[in-house]
């Protein structure tokens, strides 16, 4: 676990050469722009005790430097819903939960293609098929490959995939089919993970992420906050993602769903979500910090966050909760002076990351 020293005064020194509790948010942001990177073991108390407005000011400086005015919009389709044999406490699709969600097998290719074309026409940057279950396999995996190949042949939108704990051979097939990004969350800290899932391990997820990176994917990996974890767990997750070199980090705020193991959890205050987004930007300065589920808990549906650390968002509906339309999000970023057109932003590389 991370060493987090939360004191009113801190007088000792570390070998890192940076005492964060004696550093302002802006000066830390400038150090990061100059090349400094936060590492495991650093004192991270500044992120918890700095006034939110000051923390966000530094996050905005970092965002402007590493992301420019660009916002990346991704869209998803729930390609196979429910009947999942895993026991993730937060998930409406786990078979052990009784949530009343719609359950169905892998969608017809025509349905997937229609959604991809519509999202591309609306201006989204990328499109992902997301499927329930430990890992997509058998004929359903073949159907997914066929759908990706058809999209690559007829669409120009970047293709992403989220199909669980795949094998290396499966990842290679996905990459050959035209998928450029693979999504696989770590969900929380290593310490807290057993509290939310016991049917697979944190290390199972790490292995999949590393394999995807080795096979040439840009990996999108983040987690969920508000499940009962501590601030230390959130900081630990941010550092773990930095250590993995993750390029796109979705931050979900738990939306407790009746019938799941998290149904009684209180919704997070907006200030807690905004603080998390801001310090993720300091710890992962070159990544796209992506708004995901729980955006509706934020001021102005996330507009504040998009000028204080967040440089990307899922748009449209989520897997099992409603979202915001692409048209609404396009209008929002235009009002903020931002754009999702990659040709307008030199900082964007064309991967799922900011730079």
290 labelled ligand-binding? yes
Tell me how far apart the alpha carbons of residues 204 and 220 are, in angstroms, rounded to a whole number.
16
Q: What is the dihedral of CA 56, 57, 58, 62, to 10 degrees?
A: 90
160 labelled ligand-binding? yes
Task: Give the ranges where 128-230 is alpha helix by DSSP (H).
Answer: 138-154, 168-176, 202-214
* 196, 168 contact by CB (below 8 A): no
179: phi then psi, degrees, rounded to nearest 5: -80, 130
Residue 28: closest CA among 64, 63, 55: 55
Q: Residue 13 to residues 18, 32, 136, 177, 343: CA-CA distances in angstroms?
A: 8, 19, 50, 52, 45
* 66, 118 contact by CB (below 8 A): no
84 labelled ligand-binding? yes
74 labelled ligand-binding? no
Which residues participate in the annotated binding site for [2Fe-2S] cluster? 160, 220, 290
Which residues participate in the annotated binding site? 84, 88, 91, 160, 220, 290
Which residues participate in the annotated binding site for [4Fe-4S] cluster? 84, 88, 91
């Amino acid at each position: 676990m991370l060493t987090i020293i939360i004191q009113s005064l801190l007088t000792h020194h570390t070998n890192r050469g940076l005492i964060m509790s004696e550093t302002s948010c802006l000066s830390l942001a400038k150090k990061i722009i100059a090349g400094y990177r936060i590492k495991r073991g650093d004192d991270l108390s500044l992120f918890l005790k700095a006034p939110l407005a000051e923390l966000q000011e530094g996050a905005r400086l970092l965002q402007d430097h590493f992301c420019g005015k660009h916002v990346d919009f991704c869209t998803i389709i729930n390609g196979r819903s429910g009947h999942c044999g895993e026991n993730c406490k937060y998930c409406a699709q786990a078979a052990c939960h009784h949530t009343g969600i719609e359950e169905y097998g892998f969608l017809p290719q025509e349905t997937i293609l229609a959604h991809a074309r519509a999202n591309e026409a609306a201006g989204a940057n990328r499109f992902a098929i997301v499927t329930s279950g430990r890992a997509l396999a058998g004929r359903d995996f073949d159907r997914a490959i066929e759908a990706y190949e058809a999209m690559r042949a007829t669409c120009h939108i970047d293709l992403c995939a989220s199909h669980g704990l795949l094998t290396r051979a499966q990842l290679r097939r996905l990459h050959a089919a035209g998928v450029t990004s693979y999504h696989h969350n770590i969900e929380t800290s290593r310490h807290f993970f057993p509290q939310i899932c016991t049917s697979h391990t944190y290390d199972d997820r790490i292995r999949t992420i590393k394999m995807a990176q080795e096979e040439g994917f840009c990996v999108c990996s983040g987690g969920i906050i508000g499940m009962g974890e501590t601030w230390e767990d959130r900081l630990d997750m941010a550092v773990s993602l930095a250590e993995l070199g993750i390029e796109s980090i979705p931050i979900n705020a738990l939306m407790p769903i009746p019938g799941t193991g998290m149904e009684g959890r209180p919704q997070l205050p907006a200030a807690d979500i905004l603080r998390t987004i801001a310090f993720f930007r300091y710890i992962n300065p070159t990544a796209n910090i992506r708004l995901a589920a729980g955006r509706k808990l934020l001021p102005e549906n996330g507009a504040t966050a998009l000028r204080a650390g967040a440089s990307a968002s899922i748009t449209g509906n989520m897997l099992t909760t409603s979202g915001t339309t692409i048209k609404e999000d396009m209008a929002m970023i235009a009002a903020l002076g931002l754009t999702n057109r990659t040709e307008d932003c030199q900082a964007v590389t064309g991967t799922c990351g900011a730079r």
